[in-house]
Amino acid sequence: MTVRLGALRALIAGHDLAAVIVAKPENRRYFSGFTGSSGLLLVSADRARLITDFRYTEQADQEAPAFTVVRHGSDMYETLAAEVKTAGGGRIGFESDFATWETHQKMSAAIGDLAPLHLDRLRMVKDEAELAALGVAVRLADQAFGHILSFIKPGVSERDIALELEFFMRKNGAEKAAFDIIVASGPRSALPHGRAGDRLIAAGDFVTMDFGAVYDGYHSDITRTVVAGKATARQREIYSLVQAAQRAGLEAVAAGRTGREVDEAARQVIAGAGYGDYFGHGLGHGVGLAIHEEPRLSPSGDEVLAPNMTVTVEPGVYLPDWGGVRIEDTVVVTADGVRILTASSKELIQLD
Ligand SMILES: [Mn+2]
């Protein structure tokens, strides 16, 4: 936490602020260790306060030893105002990408001059403990994928596949699924984010599964597309194309590259084959305490990649009324390339 608080304080100084209020749950946890569902951090050059309510004061003391825990009553902003006052005057930073209009109104009524700030970029580069947790989250998803292959059969519903994946991951140590599991089969596999529904798997369907596990707060994210039977020539063609694009994306990942450059490397493979219009989303995203975070690998990805950033690489081709393929790995950026955490096979799996 010392390193993380140091980076936060450098940001405060750089913006000429007296202090910063941290409310976004991922950031609150990142800078303090506190995992409760309610509370605010108030951090200045020489103070670190964690303001929370009766339910969480003891937990906060245990989880956030670098912070002085302050219990608030019915009005959290009254307590915040009192803390800000004792910290001296000056502008206070707040997370403008998280506060609602109402929250902003309450905070500015209570403490006055506020400066908008984004803190998420401070979480992009992971330390060893974070990489270890992420590694476990990835392994749980890999194991779940291995498990589900024998479960997928004609007649089984998408919903049952999603439930089985989630049950397996939680049974084996995941805190929860990283997000609502996507299982999209047959023509529905053309929906990039098709939530698992009642559709029954039919022989020969593509089955796209996009899921992940949360371990110690860290999210993994994997997508695999398999065929519930024997693949047609067309299915093989589209699968090979996405596989080639994913390989190109992985090969482009390295410190010093921008998210845009990596996205472009994969995108031009798909566009070159004439399917550019059918890959309508970004190539990938940062992943960590949040399932989607900075940096973005997309046509608007300005961020320059650095060692130990963790991102997904997930191209797809989606053909309306026919089906689609997406292949996604969770990876770590290294000085000269990439370390792929996801270990599940990317060869076309035909479940006969
Ligand atoms: Mn993803």
CB-based contact 162:181 (threshold 8 Å):
yes
Say which residues have a Cβ less than 8 Å from residue 13's Cβ, sequence separation at least 6. 45
Ligand 1 centre to CA of 60 (Å) is 31
pLDDT at residue 270 is higher than 90 = yes
Q: Is the peptide bond before 315 cis (omega within 30 degrees of 0)?
A: no
65 Cα to the center of ligand 1, angstroms: 33
Centre of ligand 1 to C-alpha 331, Å, is 11
Assign domain 128-340 to its CATH superfamily.
Answer: Creatinase/methionine aminopeptidase superfamily (3.90.230.10)
Q: How far is the CA of 311 from the centre of ligand 1 (A)?
A: 9
Query: pLDDT tens digit string along 160-187?
Result: 999 999 999 999 999 999 999 999 999 9
Q: Domain spanning 2-123: which CATH class is it, in words?
A: alpha beta
Q: For residues 329-339, give the mean pLDDT.
A: 97
CA gap 283, 297 in Å, rounded = 5
Q: What does the mean pLDDT of the chain come to?
A: 96
114 Cα: distance to centroid of ligand 1 (angstroms): 34
For ligand 1, the distance from its centroid to the CA atom of residue 46, given in whole angstroms, is 38
Q: Do domains 2-123 and 128-340 have the same CATH topology?
A: no
**pLDDT above 90 for 89:** no
pLDDT digits (tens, 9 = 90+) for 7-55: 999 999 999 999 999 999 999 999 999 999 999 999 999 999 999 999 9
* Residue 203 Cα to ligand 1 middle (Å): 27
Nearest to 217 by CA among 23, 13, 31: 31
pLDDT over threshold 90, residue 1 = no
Query: What is the mean predicted confidence (pLDDT) over 247-259?
Result: 98
Q: What is the mean pLDDT of residues 226-240?
A: 98
298 Cα: distance to centroid of ligand 1 (angstroms): 12
Average pLDDT of 235-256?
98
Nearest one of 327, 293, 239, 337 to 97, comparing CA atoms? 293
For the chain, domain boundaries: 2-123, 128-340
CA of 156 to the centre of ligand 1 (A): 25
pLDDT given at position 113: 87
Q: How far is the CA of 78 from the centre of ligand 1 (A)?
A: 40
**pTM of the prediction?**
0.95
Query: How many angstroms does the Cα of residue 228 sit away from the middle of ligand 1?
Result: 23
User: Distance from the CA of 102 to the center of ligand 1, in angstroms?
Assistant: 31
Q: Ligand 1 centroid vs 281 CA: distance in angstroms?
A: 11
Q: Is the per-residue pLDDT at 88 higher than 90? A: no
What mean pLDDT comes out for the span 275-283?
97
Q: What is the pLDDT of residue 255?
A: 98
Distance 329 CA to ligand 1 centre (A): 8
